[in-house]
Structure 1
Amino acid sequence: MPTIQDKEKVKIVRWPLETAKREGCRKLGALRILLVENGPPPLLADLREDWVRAPVSHQDLMARVRALQARAAAYRAPVLDPDGVLRVGSTSVVLAPSEVPIVAELVRNYGSLVARESLAHLLACARNTTRNALDLQMMRIRRRIAPLGLGISTAWGRGYLLQELTSDTAREHPQTPEGVSVVR
């Protein structure tokens, strides 16, 4: 499964020669490095953009690419709209109505642990539930959000953590044949 980082390829744009290409990349939300060939570098106000002066070694350019990807990933968070559509970048999934309150709480606390009791309470408000109902719902949500490059880690007895599914996370939590991340 491709991760968010795999989807975030960095475009190299010659500055100031390819000003139109820079603007097109900006409109698409693409990560880009401006290769400044002459004159002063442009003012940067977008965290999805960086610059380097030409000529540049391949090693230095690759270091800037990795730094830009890391910086952009740190500010990338999922968004849940009122209709139950969860978006990460240009990718989205539609959640079942029963999943929306739980995912909304996880998104509100993106990158932080959410207490199991808080999520169980949200589930209990919707209908009569058993202790295993939350576990079943989390399994369904994990399956649904995996195509977005998101995963949910379990802190046993404490709660759940919504986070980006990186290649390291995928190695730590291999996928079962059904596509469910087994987190222990």
Structure 2
Amino acid sequence: MHAVNSPVPVGRSNRFIFCQLRSGLLSHRRNIGETGAFYLRRMDVRLVRWPAAREQLQSLRAEGMPRLVVVDADVVPPEPTDELEDWVRLPADQADVRIRVDTLARRAEARHRPALSSEGVLRFQGEAVPLSPVEARVVDALMKRFGAVVSRRDLTEAVWPDEAPLRNALDVHISRVRRRVSEVGLHIRTVRGRGYLMDAPSDSGQQLAANG
């Protein structure tokens, strides 16, 4: 809990901001899905009072947390250190705050998602690993529902859209891909009776819970 040190007499929209400042965060929720399926993911964008919470801002920067700096009137704002930081000045418009929070959340989300190039190179958090064409199709199907379960049927149709594979082909390729993605810090988990899920270790518990 982070207290607001010097309340400013502002309007209703800014009382909303102060409420979020007292809790220290603003919860950002987005539906992410393909073909109607979705899961709920939480990305906390921290709201930091400036200059009262200068030390807290330094800590959040060091942790790489997305943060929106709420600057007191007539105070020079801090210079953002990366794309995960933005600022607004009081009194601030609530709609503007939400837009900035949404933008920060999307940027933070993108940093925590893998990327697959057209050449079949998988990249995640500064690491890279080349994949075969079939491996790349497996990874692509799992990435489209990153953090959510993909059924065996959907995976099979995505990897072999024009032919019926051998009975154990998917199991063989999942085993190979599991080893490959582990090189960049990703996991592929078997969800019994449902399919497979790709995630990063720090997200695993949250995402499994989100998928029920």
Runs of 4+ in 1 over 2 A off after TM superposition: 43-50, 71-75, 122-128, 165-169
How many residues end up aligned between the 2 structures? Answer: 119
Q: Deviations over 1:123-174 (max 9, x none)?
A: 33365522311111000001001111100111122111100024988xxxxx
Whole-angstrom CA distance in 1 between matches of 2:196 and 2:181: 14
Whole-angstrom CA distance in 2 between matches of 1:167 and 1:157: 21
Provide the residue aligned with 1:165 in structure 2.
Answer: 201
Among 144, 151, 158, which residue is 2:187 paired with?
Answer: 151
> Where in structure 2 are the equivalents of 1:59-138 lying within 5 Å?
75-125=111-161, 128-138=164-174
Amino acid at match of 1:139: S
C-alpha RMSD of matched pairs (Å): 3.7
Does the 8 A contact of 1:123 with 1:129 survive in 2? no
SS in 2 for 1:98: helix
- Deviation, 1:122, is 2.6
- Stretches of structure 2 that go unaligned for 5 or more consecutive residues are 1-60, 66-74, 87-106, 206-212
Provide the residue aligned with 1:141 in structure 2.
Answer: 177
- Which is greater in Rg? 2
Q: Percent identity?
A: 37
- Stretches of structure 1 that go unaligned for 5 or more consecutive residues are 1-25, 33-38, 51-70, 170-184
When normalised by structure 1's length, the TM-score is: 0.52
Whole-angstrom CA distance in 2 between matches of 1:129 and 1:158: 19
Does the 8 A contact of 1:31 with 1:49 survive in 2? no
Whole-angstrom CA distance in 2 between matches of 1:107 and 1:131: 24
Does the 8 A contact of 2:147 with 2:204 survive in 1? no
Whole-angstrom CA distance in 1 between matches of 2:192 and 2:158: 19
SS in 2 for 1:125: coil
